[in-house]
Amino acid sequence: MSGTIALPIWLAVVLVALAALASINHFFLPALRWLVRRYVNSAIKDVNTRFSLELPTFQLTKRQVLIDRLTYDPVVMAAVAKTADERGVTRDGVMAEVVIFAREMVPAFNAYFYFRLGYRLARRFLRAFYRVRLGWAHEAALAEFPPNAAVVFFINHRSNMDYLLVTYLASRKAAVSYGAGEWARIWPFRSILRLAGAYILRRNTKDPIYRVVLQRYVQMATAAAVPHAIFSEGQLSRNGMVNAPKLGMLGYICRNFDVDGEFDILLIPVATNFDRVVEERTLIANAETDFRGRGARFVIGSTGFFVLRQIWRKLTGRWKGFGMACANFGEPVSLRSWSRQRNLNLKSLEHEPYFAAIEALGSELSEQVVSVVPILPVPLLAMALLEADPPLGVDGLIEKAHRELEHLCARGGHAGMKPGTEAQSLKDGVELMREVGLITFDAQQMVAPKTGEEGLLQYHANSIIQLKSSLLQE
């Protein structure tokens, strides 16, 4: 005996959907996870053999585990109890905030993304804009790092390209973790940066519980020997110089350091410089104000417009590139040696003596960053042009810049140009300055700053003026 069973269409649709979900959950997703793990494990094996770089287990730990460890950290829990009492609220309410902070902050590092996709994307993106150079590196800066030491790159902040530049140049020695703020909280940047190991920050927050969560995350990562990169100034330089350091992140990193322990921290000063900074006009136009609060629409809109304009210039054959981008790596500072020379144990210091010590450390590191700023054509030419009296022609300007280069290098400066290419690089620099409207030529073919662009010329020149002043003081 046979028959048929009639089902309403809506019920049939629900059953098919449930069957599809079950198939995805039991067959497709496990296969996808297995495939992803295979690629990730292959990338980790490749990193360990080809780069002689063993990734810290902290970076390979599941994100949810790190979130739980941070949320229920004893120091965080004590801060939760204190904050709840001060606010007169329940601990559950404060814990809910902590969970939000931790989920927002903790990265989701993926070795395959970082070393296979991220590295290649960073290289291609940078090379699409710049001629990328590792100008100079102290022999110990990119050598094999000790296994019982955390490495911290202490970097000036010229451009948001700094992230890509230092990551690209240091990728064969370390998977660098950054603290990224403002624009990094915008989708899809936050997801991409988390895969690259960045932790997302809220800038200038006064919330004490947030600061405790951030401090404990940084300290956990440091104790696990995760290579860090922190920007000395805390924000993009508005004047082209290496400005006074912001000490919050450095203070977090060093707070639990025991000079007599087995664990050391290596602080590596890194200086970047560019012939053209992507954000340069925005920076000098907002030299006295903060444009970061203008939101995602401003960040995405201005960046998108700029990228589209450059693509159009390239399609129409007017693309000349942005010149050179360069990073120099200075001599590492061992925190253990630095502390012993001053008879300090940072872990045991009270609040005021501790921050006095961190202020001294930050100042010394900033001075070292200044001393290794790369000497590039456009900044060097900008300084020579602003100091020229009387006005010079192109050949005279190049000759003056070349003399300045020789003088700076003789005193310990480091050129970003390849040896033997200085003259041609300076000629290319003059052409770039003319192309972007920084200079003009009068009837006698004398070079002069373009009217209204003196501020931008000064911005570029300041990086070399500051370096020159530093070298003369040594």
- 122-142 b/e with 16+ CB inside 10 Å = b? beeebeebbbbbbbbbbeebb
Asked if residue 130 has pLDDT above 70, the reply is yes
For residue 188, give its domain range.
Answer: 102-368
One domain for residues 254 and 276: yes
Number of domains within the chain: 2
Asked if residue 48 has pLDDT above 70, the reply is no
Helices (H), 88-195: 91-105, 111-112, 119-129, 161-170, 189-195
For the chain, first and last CA: distance in Å?
Answer: 103
Q: Are 424 and 204 in contact (CB under 8 A)?
A: no
One domain for residues 303 and 437: no
User: Taking Cα atoms as reference points, which of 152, 174, 175 lies closest to residue 267?
Assistant: 152
Quote the CA–CA distance of 457 and 246 in Å, as a whole number: 26
Asked if residue 35 has pLDDT above 60, the reply is no
Q: Does some domain include residue 205?
A: yes
Q: Which helix (H) or strand (E) holds 125?
A: helix 119-129
Sheet strands (E) in 309-418: 324-329, 333-334, 374-375, 414-415
Q: Does some domain include residue 253?
A: yes
Quote the CA–CA distance of 340 and 331 in Å, as a whole number: 18
Q: 369-406, pLDDT tens digit by residue?
A: 999 999 999 999 999 999 998 889 999 999 999 999 99
One domain for residues 346 and 409: no
Last residue of a domain, one of 334, 368, 402: 368
Q: Are 154 and 268 in contact (CB under 8 A)?
A: yes
Quote the CA–CA distance of 357 and 334 in Å, as a whole number: 15
Mean pLDDT score, 130-151? 89
Q: Does some domain include residue 356?
A: yes
Residue/partner pairs of 23-26 with CB below 8 Å, 24 or more apart: none
Q: Are 328 and 137 in contact (CB under 8 A)?
A: yes
Last residue of a domain, one of 320, 352, 368: 368
Q: What is the CA radius of gyration of the chain?
A: 26
Q: Which helix (H) or strand (E) holds 309?
A: helix 295-315
One domain for residues 360 and 286: yes
**Could you tell me which residue, 152 or 308, shows the higher pLDDT?**
152
Give the CATH number of the domain where residue 460 resides: 1.10.10.10
Mean pLDDT score, 118-142? 89
Q: Does some domain include residue 452?
A: yes
User: Taking Cα atoms as reference points, which of 271, 237, 258, 262 lies closest to residue 153?
Assistant: 271
User: Taking Cα atoms as reference points, which of 219, 223, 177, 167 lies closest to residue 200?
Assistant: 177
Give the CATH number of the domain where residue 339 resides: 3.40.1130
- Token pair of 21, please? 């979900």
Q: Is 156 helix (H, G, I), strand (E, B) or coil?
A: coil
pLDDT band of residue 180 (cuts 50, 70, 90) is confident
Q: Are 211 and 147 in contact (CB under 8 A)?
A: no
Mean pLDDT score, 172-199? 81
Beta strand 177-180 pairing with 228-231 = parallel
One domain for residues 198 and 321: yes
Beta strand 264-274 pairing with 333-334 = antiparallel
Asked if residue 367 has pLDDT above 90, the reply is yes
The number of beta carbons lying within 10 Å of the beta carbon of residue 50 is: 10
In angstroms, the Cα distances linking 120 to 40, 171, 226, 474 are 16, 11, 22, 40
pLDDT reported for residue 203: 77
Q: Are 159 and 274 in contact (CB under 8 A)?
A: yes
In angstroms, the Cα distances linking 267 to 84, 332, 362, 383 are 37, 5, 10, 30
pLDDT reported for residue 354: 97
Q: 80-120, pLDDT tens digit by residue?
A: 999 999 999 999 999 999 999 999 999 998 887 888 788 88
One domain for residues 214 and 345: yes
One domain for residues 455 and 307: no
Q: Does some domain include residue 126?
A: yes
